[in-house]
Amino acid sequence: MAEQLFLYGVYEIHVRPLELQGARWDAEYEIRHRDHAVQSWTTIGGDTGYDGAGEAIEAAHLRAVSDIDHGAGIPKPRTFP
């Protein structure tokens, strides 16, 4: 399965599934803003993984949205000298 792209506000969430042994799946996601990564590739799924690629992609998408909602990728203001 190919990489999936989701838009969330000004952010792009790139998700790609990772096939494990035994027909199990993990997924990894990256959050970008204006073609620059604001959060590098993060893998979810663990040792047991997910039953299908679609389930892994959906879980990664939801985790990325949660990261954005909780401050990941929000540019920090410049400090004053």
CATH dotted code for 4-69: 3.30.160
Question: CB of 36 within 8 A of CB of 61?
Answer: no
61-75 CB burial, b ≥16 within 10 A, e <16? bebbbebbeeeebee
7-55: pLDDT as tens digits: 998 889 999 999 998 889 999 999 998 888 989 999 999 888 999 999 9
- Grade residue 76 by pLDDT with cuts at 50, 70 and 90: low
- 18 pairs with which residues across the strands? 26
What is residue 75's predicted lDDT score, i.e. its pLDDT? 60
Residue-range domain boundaries for the chain? 4-69
Q: Are 57 and 1 in contact (CB under 8 A)?
A: yes
Q: What is the pLDDT of residue 80?
A: 30
pTM for the model stands at: 0.85
